[in-house]
Amino acid sequence: HKGFHESGSPTLAELIKSYNPRLVLVSGPERKRELLGTSAVIAPGSLAKGEYSLIDLQHQTIEGRTLQ
């Protein structure tokens, strides 16, 4: 999506800017996180590589992890 400063869905970027969700999960080949306005936009990683992200909304933390 446009929040990662790369090509992406302008529709998704517009929806995020319009509705201001707390959290948006997007796909991508690597883990990324960024704020778009007040929305946390997270690409949790590649599950095929065993990657995932643990997101705690109460404490506002994001931790990248890998399955072992």
Q: How many domains is the chain partitioned into structurally?
A: 1
Structure tokens at 65: 């992890």
pLDDT band at 26 (very low <50, low <70, confident <90, very high): very high
Share of the chain above pLDDT 70, in %: 88
Better pLDDT: 4 or 50 = 50
> Cα separations (Å) of 36 from 41, 47, 50?
7, 24, 27
Residue 63: pLDDT above 90?
A: yes
Look at residue 5 and tell me whether its pLDDT is greater than 80. Answer: no
Q: Domain with 8 in it: what CATH number?
A: 3.60.21.10
What is d(CA 62, CA 68) in angstroms, rounded to the nearest whole number? 19
Which structural domain range is residue 61 located in? Answer: 2-66
Residues 30 and 45: beta-carbon distance below 8 Å: yes
Selected residue with higher pLDDT from 3 and 38: 38
Q: State the chain's mean pLDDT as an integer.
A: 87
